Structure 1
Amino acid sequence: MIQPKRIAGFIPRRPVALWLAGGTLFGFTPAPSLAHDLVRRSVPAADSVVAPGPAAIRIEFSGRVDRPLSELVLRGPQGEQRVLDLVRDVPTNALAAAPVELRPGEYLIRWTAMSSDGHLTRGDIRFRCAPP
């Protein structure tokens, strides 16, 4: 019997095809399905301008977040930071805080969320408060 030549760094096609087919049969999926959840929408929106006064803060994600392991921190115009109290009556894919009083200036929402894939994800949403 004639043996095929082995070339360094070359992987024969048949074993790779069998490996891919076997993974598909047993429910293994490509890596993109393991991606972290993304922010779908936020209130206030990133880079938006809002009016002074009470404001709702809400972030919606592409998947479920584990609220007890998640956090929203608001940094105000003078650099002061405070951890916001999360409200519970929102869908499992969202984080929301009780309304906060805003005065004119630059703001940053720093969010931390335990993603549905088990990873801790973080991000920032900047917005500005200005009189109408």
Structure 2
Amino acid sequence: MRGRDIALAIGGAATAIWIEGARPAQAHAILSESTPREAQIVSGPDLAVGLRFNCRIDARRSRLLLISPDMHGTVLPLLDADAADELRATLTALRHGAYRLHWQVLSVDGHITRGDVSFRVGR
């Protein structure tokens, strides 16, 4: 009888592992591409911004902040995106210097992720 109990326990654990593995993975949102690219030099003064992630995001609960060369932060109004995995915005009147786009997104799995894309406006 004891051997049967052990076999049932092992079978139950194996079934639980198999069921857990069969569910689709819920990954955090990871930046997969951006315009501008990291460390890119752009001409400005206006620039279209696009950030694409590896999964769907909740754009209404996501934020995009531009940090200027003088370290002043501006929350950017988001444009309607073409896809559920992207954020879009337009930058205007950029001066020469180093900028940073700080993004914060809420992925559909309920997790918040953050990151930065640095770029430079050159001559």
Does residue 97 (structure 1) correspond to residue 82 (structure 2)? The answer is no
Question: How much does 1:116 deviate?
Answer: 1.8
Q: Could you report, residue by residue, the CA deviation over 1:13-58 in whole angstroms, capped at 9, with x for unpaired residues? A: 984564133442x4x2289923312111000001111112100111
Q: Structure 1 length as normaliser, TM-score?
A: 0.79
Does residue 20 (structure 1) correspond to residue 14 (structure 2)? The answer is yes
Letter in 2 for 1:44: P
The aligned counterpart of 1:7 is: none
Letter in 1 for 2:107: S
Does residue 65 (structure 1) correspond to residue 51 (structure 2)? The answer is no
The aligned counterpart of 1:75 is: 67
The runs of 5 or more residues in structure 1 that have no matched partner are: 5-11
The aligned counterpart of 2:26 is: 34
Secondary structure of the residue aligned to 1:68 is helix
Greater per-residue helix proportion: 2
Question: How much does 1:110 deviate?
Answer: 0.5
Greater per-residue strand proportion: 1
Letter in 1 for 2:115: G
1:129 and 1:115, CA in 2 relative to 1: closer, same or farther beyond 3 A? same
4+ residue segments displaced more than 6 Å: none
Aligned alpha-carbon RMSD (Å): 2.5
The runs of 5 or more residues in structure 2 that have no matched partner are: none
Is this contact kept in 1: 2:81–2:87, CA < 8 A?
no
